[in-house]
Chain A
Amino acid sequence: MASIFTVECPSCGQSFPCHTELWQAGYDLLCPFCQATFPQERSPRIVSATGDVVRNDTGAAEGM
């Protein structure tokens, strides 16, 4: 299962896994913890399928 990235919810701060088919696919993601829906771009922290960390405040990849 290599094809996942994890997304931090902007509402509750918890992270959950998404399939890469959802990567920048234009769908709102659904937080399983608080039921918030949000576009990927609003997530404060995303870890991509290759392990790169993307922070929304800078938009920069830190690498891992």
Chain B
Amino acid sequence: MENPENVIEVRNLQIDFHTYAGEVKAIRDVSFDLRKGETLAIVGESGSGKSVTTRSLMGLLAPNAVIKGGSIMFHDEDIIKKSEKDMQHIRGKDIAMIFQDPMTSLDPTMRIGLQIAEPLMKHKGLKKKEAVAQALEMLKLVGITNPEGRINDYPYQFSGGMRQRIVIAIALVCYPEVLIADEPTTALDVTIQAQILDLMKDLQNRIDTSIIFITHDLGVVAGMADRVAVMYAGKIVEYGTVDEIFFNPQHPYTWGLLNSMPTLDTEGGSLSAIPGTPPDLLDPPVGDAFAARSDYAMKIDTEQEPPFFKVSDTHYAATWLLHPDAPKVTPPAEIVRRQKKFAAMEKPEPPIKHVTKE
């Protein structure tokens, strides 16, 4: 590992899919770190590559996927090089995952207590009785009322929100180092979503797990994330702390995402939708993939891919707008409002220099 603070280091990941129409270049040179104990949110529109990226961390890619390059370091070992047999030891024990639809992770024919107990028997060698006893504790922890009375129920006997709690219990029962949550609340009502998000935050504190949280909902990101990576067309285009991304965004795509949400005080008029649709990854565009939909595109955006420019030690964005020679542009009004707020926010003080007299 490059940095001992990191649990996972992804470098230059590149994934294609073989299809009848050609090679879909789904992940195009993605790098990121997951720090110990943090929640890293990955945001972006459907098809931007969020799920494929995280499935590769679990060794769960579709059969037509080809990893063209890159590495995924976990405990100083490259996950990409591991066999399926090795991955079975990691999956559910060190790295666990929850999905949008709880039913994809639940066995409809199995009592929930046993489903929660199973990873303990498999990975920790616990006897059934002990494992079920711990499953009961887990059910309490995720807030299932009357856990003793419900431990022998089947998944269909629970509501959608309760099922997602059970899935969380299964995912966390081995106290994994990493939890990957792929749109875990997208299918839920807002009130249930709020409860599940609170639960996840609470459990993260108790279990001390690092979370990769995938969503397209920036509202959810604002409440959950310590750091945010914004994905577009198979690339990360901007990353930074949650405050940097929401209050000092630099990439026009991040501007577009923030701008298309009604805020508390949006009145009448029309919302600022991002026009058009994401590019076809069978034949990704040259340069900045967002250029075709951006009001801020320059000639170079269609010719050359922008590198990451440094905004702060923790904040980078891949847009030519940050090049020293780029013309100064004014972002949309909503973004200017946010940046003003950023300027006024308390920032960590710079180290004091002691001046001594000669």
On whether the two chains bind one another, the answer is no
B-side interface residues toward A, CB under 8 Å? none
A-side interface residues toward B, CB under 8 Å? none
